[in-house]
Structure 1
Amino acid sequence: MQRIQQLVSHLTPTPTGLSALERKSPDDVVITMAIRSPLCKAKKGGFKDTRTDELMTEMFKKAISYSKVDPAVVEDITVGVVLAVGGLYAARQAALTAGFPDAVPISIVNRFCSSGLMAVTDIANKIKAGQIQVGLAIGVESMSQDPDAGVPPASAEIQAHVAAQDCAMPMGWTSENVASDFNVTRERMDEFAARSFQRAEHADKTGIFDGEIVPFTAFVRNPKTGEQSTRVITKDDGIRYGTTKEGLLKVRPAFPQWGKGHTTGGNASQVTDGAAAVMLMKRSKAEELGLNILGKHITTAVAGCPPRIMGIGPLYAIPKVLAMAA
Structure 2
Amino acid sequence: MQRMKVVLGHLGGGGGQPRTSPCLGLSGSPRSVAVGNPEDVVVVHGRRTPIGKSKRGGLKDTTPDELLAAVMTAVLKDLNLSPEKLGDICVGNVLQPGAGALTARIGQFLSGIPETVPISCVNRQCSSGLQAVINIAGGIRNGSYDIGLACGITSENVAERFGVSRKKQDAFALASQQKAARAQQMGWFKNEIVPVTTTFTDDQGNEKKITVLQDEGIRPSTTLEGLAKLKPAFKENGTTTAGNSSQVSDGAAAVLLAKRSKASQLHLPVLGVLKSYAVVGVPPDVMGIGPAYAIPVALEKAGLTVNDIDIFEINEAFASQAVYCVEKLGIPLEKVNPLGGAIALGHPLGCTGARQVVTLLHELQRRGKRGYGVVSMCIGTGMGAAAVFEYPGN
Q: Same fold (TM over 0.5)?
A: yes
Counterpart in the other structure of 1:64? 76
The answer as to 2:64 corresponding to 1:52 is yes
List runs of 5+ in structure 2 lacking aligned partners. 1-26, 304-394
Could you tell me whether the CA contact under 8 Å between 1:21 and 1:325 is conserved in 2?
no
RMSD (CA atoms): 2.0
Q: 2:296 aligns with which of 319, 322, 325?
A: 319
Displacement after TM superposition at 1:277 (Å): 0.2
Q: CA deviation at 1:256?
A: 2.5
Q: Which amino acid aligns with 1:54?
A: E
Give the equivalent residue in structure 1 for 2:41.
Answer: 29
- Aligned with 1:246: secondary structure? helix
Distance 1:85 1:16, change over 3 A: closer
Structure 1 residue aligned with 2:230:
251
1:207 to 187, 191, 197: 187
Question: Contact between 2:66 and 2:110, CA under 8 Å: does it hold in 1?
Answer: no
Q: Percent identity?
A: 46
Pairing partner for 2:111 from 98, 107, 111: 98
* Separation (CA, whole Å) in 2 of partners of 1:46 and 1:255: 28
- 1:231 paired residue number: 210
CA distance in 2, matches of 1:289, 1:201: 37
- In structure 2, what is the Cα distance between the partners aligned to 1:106 and 1:98? 14
Amino acid at match of 2:295: I
- Amino acid across the alignment from 1:31: V
Question: Would the alpha carbon gap of residues 319 and 23 (structure 1) be closer, same or farther in structure 2, given more than 3 Å must change?
Answer: farther
Give how far 1:191 is off.
0.4
Query: 1:78: which partner in 2?
Result: 90
Select the residue among 120, 125, 145 that pairs with 1:112.
125
- Tell me if structure 1 keeps the 8 A contact 2:91–2:119: yes
TM alignment of 1:280-299, pairs within 5 A: 280-299=257-276
Tell whether the 8 Å contact from 2:68 to 2:253 is kept in structure 1 after alignment: no
Structure exhibiting the larger radius of gyration computed from Cα positions: 1
The aligned counterpart of 2:166 is: 186
Q: Which residue of 2 aligns with 1:304?
A: 281
The alpha-carbon distance between structure 1 residues 181 and 22, as it changes in their structure 2 partners (threshold 3 A), is farther
The match for 1:220 is: 200
Please give the secondary structure, in 2, of the residue aligned with 1:266: helix
The one-letter amino acid paired with 2:76 is I
Residue 88 of structure 1 aligns to which amino acid in structure 2? Answer: A
Secondary structure at the counterpart of residue 19 of structure 1: coil
Q: Which residue of 2 aligns with 1:277?
A: 254
Moved over 6 A (4+): none
For the residue of structure 1 that corresponds to 2:159, the secondary structure is: helix
How far, CA to CA, are the matches of 2:253 and 2:68 in structure 1?
A: 9
Q: Secondary structure at the match of 2:242?
A: coil
Q: Residues 117-132 of structure 1: matches in 2 within 5 Å?
A: 117-132=130-145
Taking the aligned partners of 1:59 and 1:244, their CA distance within structure 2 comes to 34
Q: Distance in 2 between matches of 1:89 and 1:247?
A: 43
Q: Equivalents in 2 of 1:22, 1:73: separation in Å?
A: 28
Partners of 1:57 and 1:231 in 2: how far apart?
17
In structure 1, what is the Cα distance between the partners aligned to 2:226 and 2:110? 46
Structure 1 match to 2:376: none
Give the TM-score taking structure 2 as reference length: 0.66
Maintained 8 Å contact 2:173/2:244: yes
How many pairs does the alignment contain? Answer: 276
Return the offset for 1:223: 7.7
Equivalent pair of 1:67/1:279 in contact (CA under 8 Å): no
Q: Distance in 1 between matches of 2:182 and 2:51?
A: 16
Q: How far off is 1:288 after superposition? A: 1.4
- State the partner residue of 2:242: 265
**Gap change, CA 1:21 and 1:245, over 3 Å in 2:** farther
Structure in which a larger fraction of residues adopt strand:
2
Query: Which string of whole-angstrom CA distances, capped at 9 and with x for unpartnered residues, describes residues 37-71 of structure 1?
Result: 00111111111111222222223222332232111
In structure 1, stretches of 5+ residues that fail to align are: 1-14, 141-170
Letter in 1 for 2:181: E
Other-structure match for 2:176: 196
Q: Residue type of the partner of 2:196? A: F
Superposed displacement of residue 17, structure 1: 6.2
Distance 1:323 1:71, change over 3 A: same
* Contact 1:76-1:134 at 8 Å conserved across structures: no
Rounded to whole Å, the distance in 2 between the matches of 1:321 and 1:22 is 21
Q: TM-score, normalised by structure 1?
A: 0.80
